[in-house]
Structure 1
Amino acid sequence: MIKNRMSWGKEFWLAALFLVLLMGVDFSVRGAGPLVRGGARLIFALVVAGIVFYVLGTMKIFQTKIKLGTFAKIWGFIFGICLGGLFLLISILGHTALMMHAKTVVADTMMALSAGIFEEFLCRGLLFSAFLSAFKQTKYKFTEAALASGIFFGLFHFMNLISGQGFLPTLQQATYAFVIGAIFASIRLTTNTLTWVVLIHALIDWQPGISVTHTVSSLASWLVFLAVWGTILVVTVIFLISFDISSKRQLSLS
């Protein structure tokens, strides 16, 4: 794995600082129009991305990509179907159709880009690197780091309570954000870059009105919700474990 410029403890402190600064940026543009809020968020996200890139020194994790074993390829195929179907239905078809009629399309685009850039460089970049260093002696370090960064990504969404979002919708949002976070970590491990997760994240968030309000009020049936996201999580964890096994085999031979 590629070494970074900071210890994992300092990376955690830097991530905490970025979150505090994000709240400061949001507070400073409170009451401003969507374009101002979207622009401020995007500028802040780009600055954070630049700092994280300097700290990490690269968007890669490995010098060369890990070649997946047969078991990992099988579960990667299943994993890809789950992710591909979810992404296609929710993002490409639904959001694109709605955005064609959005009155705040420019501001919404900036806000979506800022979310993809800031959250991915923070969670799948800085924090994922910190967790990898913290778990470097464990048997399944990539799995544990992916789930740990996913948990943080889920907890991050509890900040929406400050905006007046209800607790139960926030709990569901944090839960599926945790699963999506683990999925994004898997994509970063497989592709060995942050580029794809930034783009996918931005497209998922690219929806009408996100620059006006990012809170949710709908509440799904808990039985259906847990069945769907629980299944996706199980598939993701199995893939992560198989990735750990493949990486150990390749790194031991190198």
Structure 2
Amino acid sequence: MIKNKISWVKEFLLAALFIVLLMGVDFSVKGTGPLMRGGTRLVFGIVVAGIIYYVLGTTKIFPHRIQLGTFSKIWGFIFGICLGGLLLLVIILTRTTLMAHSKTFIADTMMALSAGIFEEFLCRGLLFSAFLSAFNQAKYKFTEAALASGIFFGLFHFMNLISGQGIVQTLQQATYAFVIGTIFVSIRLTTNTLLWVVLIHAMIDWQAGISVTHTASAIAPWPTFSAVWGTLLVISVIFLISFDGSFNHQKVSISEK
């Protein structure tokens, strides 16, 4: 793995600083128009991404991609089908049509890009790197770091309570953010880059009116909600565990040469 430039403790502190600054940015543009909010958020996200890139020195985790075992490839295929189906259903069939009629198209696009850039560089970049260093001696360090960073990503969405979002909506949002966090880590580990998770995150957040309000209003029935997101979580965790196995096997093979 590529070594960090700073300690994982400093990475956590830096992440906390960025979150505080984000709250300050949101407060400073409160009451302004969608273009101002979207543009400010995008600039802030790009600046933070640049700082994190400088701190980490790269968007990669490994000098070269890890060769996955047969089991990992099978589960990766299943995982890809589930994720691809979700994106197809949510984005192509619903949001594209709605976005075409959005009165705040440019501002919504900037806001979605800002979320993808800021949150991925923060959570799958800086924080995942910190958790990975903290769990460096663990047998399943990638799985543990993925779950830990996913939990943080979920908790991060409780900030929406400040904006007046309901507790039930926030609980569901935090839950699926946690699951999506583990999925995004799986993608980052497989592709060895942050680019794809930034793009996918931005696509998921690309919604009409997101620059006007980013709070959720809909509530899904808990049985359906639990079945869908529980299934995705199980699939992603199985893949992460198999990835740990492939990494450990490859590491042992290299050490024996």
TM tier relative to shorter chain: over 0.9
Work out the CA distance in 2 between the residues paired with 1:92 and 1:5. Answer: 40
**2:161 is the alignment partner of 1:161:** yes
Match for residue 105 of structure 1?
Answer: 105
Q: Deviations over 1:105-148 (max 9, x none)?
A: 00000000000000000000000000000000001000000111
Q: Deviations over 1:38-87 (max 9, x none)?
A: 00000000000000000100000000000110000110111111111011
Match for residue 71 of structure 2?
Answer: 71
Q: How do 1:1-254 residues align onto structure 2 when only pairs under 5 Å count? A: 1-254=1-254
Corresponding letter in the other structure for 1:179? V
Q: Deviations over 1:186-213 (max 9, x none)?
A: 0000000000000000011011000000
Corresponding letter in the other structure for 1:72? S
Work out the CA distance in 1 between the residues paired with 2:20 and 2:154. Answer: 17
Identical positions, percent: 77
Cα deviation, residue 92, structure 1:
2.5
Cα deviation, residue 182, structure 1:
0.3
Corresponding letter in the other structure for 1:142? F
Contact 1:132 1:141 (C-alpha < 8 Å) held by counterparts: yes
Work out the CA distance in 2 between the residues paired with 1:250 and 1:96. Answer: 42
Contact 1:95 1:207 (C-alpha < 8 Å) held by counterparts: yes
Contact 1:92 1:203 (C-alpha < 8 Å) held by counterparts: no
Q: CA RMSD in A?
A: 0.6
Corresponding letter in the other structure for 2:114? S
Corresponding letter in the other structure for 1:153? F
Structure 1 residues without counterparts, runs of 5 or longer: none
Work out the CA distance in 1 between the residues paired with 2:169 and 2:178. Answer: 14
Cα deviation, residue 252, structure 1:
2.0
Work out the CA distance in 2 between the residues paired with 1:91 and 1:199. Answer: 13
- 4+ residue runs over 4 A deviation: none
Work out the CA distance in 1 between the residues paired with 2:138 and 2:200. Answer: 30
Work out the CA distance in 1 between the residues paired with 2:229 and 2:52. Answer: 30
Work out the CA distance in 2 between the residues paired with 1:251 and 1:44. Answer: 39
Cα deviation, residue 253, structure 1:
2.0
| TM-score, L = length of structure 2 | 0.98
SS of the residue 1:41 aligns to: helix
SS of the residue 2:103 aligns to: coil
Q: Deviations over 1:210-236 (max 9, x none)?
A: 000010111111111111111110011
Corresponding letter in the other structure for 1:205? D
Work out the CA distance in 2 between the residues paired with 1:210 and 1:77. Answer: 32
Contact 1:82 1:232 (C-alpha < 8 Å) held by counterparts: yes
Does 79-88 or 111-120 show the bigger shift?
79-88
Work out the CA distance in 2 between the residues paired with 1:202 and 1:92. Answer: 13
Work out the CA distance in 2 between the residues paired with 1:105 and 1:65. Answer: 37
Corresponding letter in the other structure for 1:168? V
